[in-house]
Amino acid sequence: MSLPEIVPRADWRAAREALLAKEKAATRARDALSAERRRLPAVEVGTEYVFEGGDGKATLLDLFEGRDQLVVHHFMFAPEWDAGCPGCSAFLDQIGHLAHLRARGTSFAAVSRAPYPRILPFKARMGWTLPWYSSYPGDFDRDLEATVERDGQPLDRAGLSCFLREGDRVLHTYSAFGRGLDGLGSADSLLDLTALGRRDPRGGVRHHDEYDL
């Protein structure tokens, strides 16, 4: 890998200004894409999925924790594995403090096909405290297309799915897989995938231990 060309400061400044114009155009295009994403139609989730987590059995509605939005990370962890996907693990490592999502009425949870007793020791090994649920042996991952069939065998895909709650109704609003997760991890980047987008928390952005959650 070669080093960049070394030039005088004035030449660097001119090149930087030219690139900045393209960066601003990309930002405007990304904002427009996020607005279009928020206008996507939604589909009601009619299946009563059952998950297992740290507090026992839970429904999809329970994963909202009383908030009106939910972002689910489809974490690749097959039932027969002893450890989760390294790439999915690297993604979870980048997730910031959940208070910044929760202050905007949005919950976050990881979901895997592995039984919860397999997830628990790996979660402890990684030092994660965020909510993580097992969908085993249900069809949640297949129905959300996070698990697909290849040569007659289930194949998991890393992904994110967004849900919106209207009373007791759960609406599926968006999903992304593979390269669609590039650049995601911050609260704002995850909120850009949701139907309600970036919402300022009551009282504005604060230190994570100052939110009244």
Domain map (residue ranges) of the chain: 7-39, 43-191
pTM for this structure?
A: 0.94
- Provide the pLDDT confidence category of residue 204 given band limits of 50, 70 and 90: confident
- Provide the pLDDT confidence category of residue 72 given band limits of 50, 70 and 90: very high
pLDDT at 88 over 90: yes
Quote the tokens at residue 136.
């085993």
Percentage, residues of the chain above pLDDT 90: 92
Q: What is the pLDDT of residues 28-54, one digit of tens each?
A: 999 999 999 999 999 999 999 999 999
CATH 3.40.30.10 fits 43-191, yes or no: yes
Give the whole-angstrom CA distance, residue 159 versus residue 210: 31
Give the whole-angstrom CA distance, residue 37 versus residue 23: 21
According to DSSP, the residues that pair with 133 across neighbouring strands are 111
